[in-house]
Amino acid sequence: MTRTAPSPRTLDVEHVAPNALGIDRAFVESWLMPGVDWGLTAEHPRLFAPSGHAQSIVLRQANRLLGHAALLEVRVRTTSGMVPTTLIGSVVIAPEHRGQGLGRRLLAEVCSTLDRSPSKIAILWSDKPGFYRRAGFEPSGSELVVRIATGQPNALVRRAHQRDVPSLLALHAAKPNRVLRTLAEFAALLAIPRTQTWVLDDVGIRAYACVGKGMDFGDVMHECGGDDASLLQLLPALPTHLAVLAPWRRALARRLGSVAEGPLGLVRTGKPLPDGFYIDGLDSI
Ligand SMILES: CC(C)(COP(=O)(O)OP(=O)(O)OC[C@H]1O[C@@H](n2cnc3c(N)ncnc32)[C@H](O)[C@@H]1OP(=O)(O)O)[C@@H](O)C(=O)NCCC(=O)NCCS
């Protein structure tokens, strides 16, 4: 059923903490995750957990929620320095009000918020690039999609345990390009439903890799840590043939199998992305 478009005059725009959405959270959840048996906090712990440092932009009319977008400020370490970056996600308009210009209105508010932010780069992931293009979001950056040649069982490979998280954080921190994370944030990201984390344990954890994540990624390997030699042992032992790797792992990618290169995401920035700019799978929202 299509309703009459709300008049722009009667629309309220608010900025709230995502964990203060109250009853509106259930609407966002039902619009974005219909039939999914876990909630927004489990899917996006850094956005919706009580300790989160994110903001929600909401459109309302007469106290009724009509649209929502979430913004999360992170710091991306690159070989050319630290890059404050805004991740955008959970963008949705009430189903009965789609196609009435509300998405454009919501995105305009997101963009004016970005223009006031210290982050000069904003990035999102969407299968609707046309909707975002007019607001200045263009496919940008790079990631490598690798079809791994063979499955090779390895006795040193096992599923990760909670107690491994400090070792995984050390491997993450050793990457030249990465989003900064605390131990608690990393633990929460690893607990996202349908995330399988595997490690190469050879008298200590040498490498890790994550397969699947919530509603995203299916059985794709989307994040790994460790040196090339260790990852050459771990990745072919995983229960997937598809891996997404950072562009700085090109030599490893070529040794693993056939490689295709694609954009990292939809990016809004006034200038080219800094060299090496990359966001691992667990950080995408
Ligand atoms: C995508 C979504 C947010 C768009 O909101 P909306 O209110 O329906 O969009 P609008 O009516 O403001 O349309 C804005 C413009 O984008 C275009 N547009 C809308 N949906 C589009 C799509 N799926 N692909 C390409 N362009 C699209 C419209 O044609 C319109 O163009 P115009 O300015 O020339 O008229 C909304 O349809 C939605 O909530 N979809 C489901 C959730 C979702 O997919 N979220 C995005 C994931 S990050």
Say yes or no: 23 and 121 in one domain. yes
pTM: 0.94
Domain that holds residue 73: 8-139
Phi, psi of 253 (to 5 degrees): -55, -45
pLDDT at 2 over 60: no
Asked if residue 72 belongs to a domain, the reply is yes
Q: If you measure from the C-alpha of residue 99 to the centroid of ligand 1, how many angstroms do you get, rounded to a whole number?
A: 6
Give the CATH number for residue 192. Answer: 3.40.630.30
Asked if residue 156 belongs to a domain, the reply is yes
Asked if residue 267 belongs to a domain, the reply is no
Give tens-digit pLDDT for 116-162.
Answer: 998 889 999 999 999 999 999 999 999 999 999 767 889 999 999 99
Say yes or no: 158 and 230 in one domain. yes
Asked if residue 274 belongs to a domain, the reply is no
Give the H or E element holding residue 64.
strand 64-78
Q: What percent of the chain has pLDDT over 70?
A: 97
Q: Which of 68, 97, 125, 128 to mutate to test the pocket of ligand 1 (most atoms within 8 A of CB)?
A: 128
Give tens-digit pLDDT for 158-188.
Answer: 999 999 999 999 999 999 999 999 999 999 9
Q: If you measure from the C-alpha of residue 199 to the centroid of ligand 1, how many angstroms do you get, rounded to a whole number?
A: 40
Say yes or no: 66 and 40 in one domain. yes
Atom of ligand 1 nearest to the CA of 89: 48
Say yes or no: 199 and 104 in one domain. no
Give tens-digit pLDDT for 232-285.
Answer: 999 999 999 999 999 999 999 999 999 999 999 999 997 889 988 999 999 999
**Are 56 and 254 contacting, i.e. CB atoms less than 8 angstroms apart?**
no
Strand partners, 66: none
Say how far apart CA 53 and CA 73 lie, in whole Å.
Answer: 7
Domain total in the chain: 2
Residue whose pair of structure tokens reads 């056939």 in the numeric block: 258
Mean pLDDT, residues 208-220 taken together: 95
pLDDT at 10 over 90: no
The per-residue pLDDT for 7 is 76
Identify the residues whose C-beta falls under 6 Å from ligand 1. 91-93, 98-104, 126, 128, 130-131
The per-residue pLDDT for 3 is 67
Q: If you measure from the C-alpha of residue 109 to the centroid of ligand 1, how many angstroms do you get, rounded to a whole number?
A: 15
Q: Which residues contact residue 202 at a Cβ distance below 8 angstroms, ignoring those fewer than 6 apart?
A: 156, 230
Say yes or no: 134 and 245 in one domain. no
Say how far apart CA 5 and CA 94 lie, in whole Å.
Answer: 12
The residue nearest atom 14 of ligand 1, judged by CA position, is 104
Asked if residue 215 belongs to a domain, the reply is yes
Domain boundary among the residues 139, 173, 191 is at: 139
**Geometric angle at alpha carbon 71, from 215 and 107, rounded to 5°:** 95
Coil/strand/helix, residue 199: strand
Say yes or no: 257 and 204 in one domain. yes
